């Protein structure tokens, strides 16, 4: 069997199919596919044990016709130029779908942050900014947290950049509230998962109360999605992280507060009270009303798509369902709420953070949350209406809306 489609290959296939549905010729697909700029930097680090390790930093800036480049920085050994390309293009489309005035970018450093001491990680991040500062900025490219990076990393970037350009909080989003971050940003992606899933259930005339959910990944997105879905009455059947998972003993599901306390103590959900251990691959195949992959790309491929027993999937991670698996799941009638919509709460509140920074304002949490809900409900409504009118999948509808907006902006500038 050929290897499963990579995140980039899957994304390219979704984009190509959107271009075909919209009747665009091959040159438009090419224009949308190829990034404006790709940057790679070498990052040598003398570790505290005396060894020298050479890391690589990446940034792909996809297109900025709708606004400055925007996207996360991933700190993970798997990040490379190819993955950054796929994720940067996905960001351009996500911003277009949410009608945010940004283009897309993505990048990161090919390190395992858990293997570095805090001082080493800080040095690495500051070196990345020293090499990259001419290519980022409040009106140029605005990084944000992604896998393996967090508010603390954003504060280091903000500080290093501000040494050259003066106080510049708008150079990054997802930074600590104490240095200009927005209230509600940390939980925004998970909050958004709850809002989109709720909209979808409402549109189908059902309620989430009492329905079961399985979540893969318990980092920023997975843990806040768990909270948002549990707050809507969903039962947490199983949760996992990179070390393994926990499956609820009882029908009412896991007690989230107890899992969070265990996670704070041990750094993992494995061994949390009220459940028994389960492997990640088994967790994905559990029967449930909703499966939420919230870890890395490629969790569901052609290999396991036939064994998925969930009644629906909400892609909280970027690219968790490969294109070949998408086809199998569509044939099996399992609806997929696509990443481009489901996890867009993060970049939406990043936009609010940027707006607050540029105007030197600080909004209350309630204002952030009500604006987030309004943006996501508008985008979700457009996707649901279009999928119904065009008799296509939610992903196809979302890609078509976003692709049209991006193409219109790009062509308005002429060539």
Distances (CA, A) of 249 to 236, 254, 278, 317: 11, 8, 11, 26
Tell me how many helices (H) and strands (E) the chain has.
15, 12
Query: Do the beta carbons of residue 189 and residue 221 sit within 8 Å?
Result: yes
CB of 242 to ligand NAD, least distance (A): 3
How far is residue 93's CA from residue 17's CA, in Å, rounded to a whole number? 14
Catalytic residue among 8, 70, 94, 106: 106
Looking at the Cβ atoms of 19 and 321, the one nearer to ligand NAD is: 321
The DSSP code for 173 is: S
Annotated catalytic, 106?
yes
Looking at the Cβ atoms of 356 and 410, the one nearer to ligand NAD is: 356
Query: Do the beta carbons of residue 128 and residue 110 sit within 8 Å?
Result: no
Q: Give the residue carrying structure tokens 């500062």.
A: 133
Q: Is 143 in the site for ligand NAD (CB under 6 A)?
A: no
Closest residue by Cα to residue 201 from 60, 311, 353:
311
Name the residue number minimizing CB distance to ligand NAD: 219
Selected binder of ligand NAD within 43, 125, 221, 340 (CB under 6 A)? 221
How far is residue 266's CA from residue 165's CA, in Å, rounded to a whole number? 40
Q: Is 71 in the site for ligand NAD (CB under 6 A)?
A: no
Burial grade of 276 (CB within 10 A; 0-12, 13-18, 19 or more):
exposed
Which region, left, alpha or beta, applies to residue 217 given φ > 0 means left and ψ of -120 to 50 means alpha?
Answer: left
Looking at the Cβ atoms of 398 and 410, the one nearer to ligand NAD is: 398
Q: Is 193 in the site for ligand NAD (CB under 6 A)?
A: no
Q: Is 123 in the site for ligand NAD (CB under 6 A)?
A: no
**Residue ranges in 198-217 that form contacts with ligand NAD under rule CB under 6 A:** 216-217
Q: Is 189 in the site for ligand NAD (CB under 6 A)?
A: yes
Calculate Rg over the CA atoms of the chain. Answer: 20
Q: Is 338 in the site for ligand NAD (CB under 6 A)?
A: no
CB of 191 to ligand NAD, least distance (A): 10
Q: Is 36 in the site for ligand NAD (CB under 6 A)?
A: no
Looking at the Cβ atoms of 242 and 409, the one nearer to ligand NAD is: 242
Token digits of residue 234? 């969903």
Q: Is 393 in the site for ligand NAD (CB under 6 A)?
A: no
Q: Is 240 in the site for ligand NAD (CB under 6 A)?
A: yes
Q: Give the residue carrying structure tokens 């990040």.
A: 79
- DSSP per position, 314-354: E--SSS-B-HHHHHHHHHTT--EE-HHHHTTHHHHHHHHHH
CB of 402 to ligand NAD, least distance (A): 15
Looking at the Cβ atoms of 227 and 407, the one nearer to ligand NAD is: 227
Q: Is 173 in the site for ligand NAD (CB under 6 A)?
A: no
Selected binder of ligand NAD within 71, 103, 143, 148 (CB under 6 A)? 148
Q: Is 4 in the site for ligand NAD (CB under 6 A)?
A: no
Selected binder of ligand NAD within 12, 198, 241, 353 (CB under 6 A)? 241
How far is residue 212's CA from residue 209's CA, in Å, rounded to a whole number? 9
Distances (CA, A) of 229 to 150, 225, 242, 326: 23, 6, 21, 24
Q: Is 255 in the site for ligand NAD (CB under 6 A)?
A: no
Q: Is 179 in the site for ligand NAD (CB under 6 A)?
A: no
CB of 11 to ligand NAD, least distance (A): 12
Output helix, strand, coil percentages for the chain, rounded to the nearest 5: 50, 20, 35
CB of 316 to ligand NAD, least distance (A): 6
Looking at the Cβ atoms of 61 and 343, the one nearer to ligand NAD is: 343
Q: Is 78 in the site for ligand NAD (CB under 6 A)?
A: no
* 33 CB neighbour count, 10 Å cutoff: 17
**Residue ranges in 265-324 that form contacts with ligand NAD under rule CB under 6 A:** 280, 294-296, 316-318
CB of 413 to ligand NAD, least distance (A): 28
How far is residue 11's CA from residue 253's CA, in Å, rounded to a whole number? 34
Q: Is 220 in the site for ligand NAD (CB under 6 A)?
A: yes
As annotated, the active-site residues are 106
By the criterion CB under 6 A, which residues form the site for ligand NAD? 145-148, 189, 216-222, 240-242, 280, 294-296, 316-318, 343, 346
């Amino acid at each position: 069997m050929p290897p499963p489609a990579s995140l980039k290959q899957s994304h390219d296939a979704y984009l190509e199919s959107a271009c075909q549905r919209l009747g665009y010729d091959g040159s438009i697909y090419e224009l949308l596919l190829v990034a404006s700029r790709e940057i790679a930097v070498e990052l040598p680090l003398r570790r505290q044990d005396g060894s020298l390790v050479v890391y690589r930093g990446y940034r792909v800036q996809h297109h900025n016709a709708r606004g400055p480049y925007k996207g996360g920085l991933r700190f993970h050994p798997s990040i490379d130029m190819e993955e950054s390309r796929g994720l940067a293009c996905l960001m351009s489309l996500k911003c277009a779908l949410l009608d945010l005035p940004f283009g897309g970018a993505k990048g990161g450093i090919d390190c395992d942050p858990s293997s570095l001491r805090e001082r080493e990680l800080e040095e690495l991040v500051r070196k990345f900014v020293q090499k990259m500062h001419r290519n980022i900025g409040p009106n140029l490219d605005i990084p944000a947290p992604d896998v393996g990076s967090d508010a603390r990393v954003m504060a280091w970037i903000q500080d290093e950049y501000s040494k050259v350009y003066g106080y510049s909080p708008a150079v990054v989003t997802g930074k600590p509230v104490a240095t200009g971050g927005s209230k509600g940003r940390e939980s925004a992606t998970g909050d958004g998962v709850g809002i989109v899933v709720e909209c979808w259930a409402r549109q189908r005339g059902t309620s989430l109360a009492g329905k079961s959910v399985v979540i893969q990944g318990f980092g920023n997105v997975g843990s806040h999605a768990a909270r948002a879905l549990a707050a809507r009455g969903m039962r947490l059947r199983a949760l996992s992280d990179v070390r393994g998972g926990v499956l609820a003993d009882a029908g009412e599901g896991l007690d989230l507060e107890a899992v969070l306390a265990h996670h704070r103590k041990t750094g993992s959900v494995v061994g949390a009270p009220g459940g028994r251990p389960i492997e990640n691959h088994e967790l994905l195949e559990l029967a449930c009303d909703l499966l939420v992959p919230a870890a890395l790309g490629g969790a569901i491929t052609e290999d396991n798509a036939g064994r998925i027993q969930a009644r629906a999937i909400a892609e909280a991670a970027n690219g968790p369902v490969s294109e070949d698996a998408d086809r199998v799941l569509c044939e099996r009638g399992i609806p997929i709420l696509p990443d481009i919509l489901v996890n867009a709460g993060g970049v939406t509140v990043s936009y609010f953070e940027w707006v607050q920074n540029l105007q030197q304002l600080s909004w209350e949490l309630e204002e952030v949350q009500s604006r987030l809900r309004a943006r996501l409900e508008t985008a979700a409504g457009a996707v649901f209406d279009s999928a119904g009118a065009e008799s296509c999948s939610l992903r196809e509808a979302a890609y078509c809306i976003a692709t049209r907006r991006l193409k219109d902006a790009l062509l308005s500038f002429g060539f």
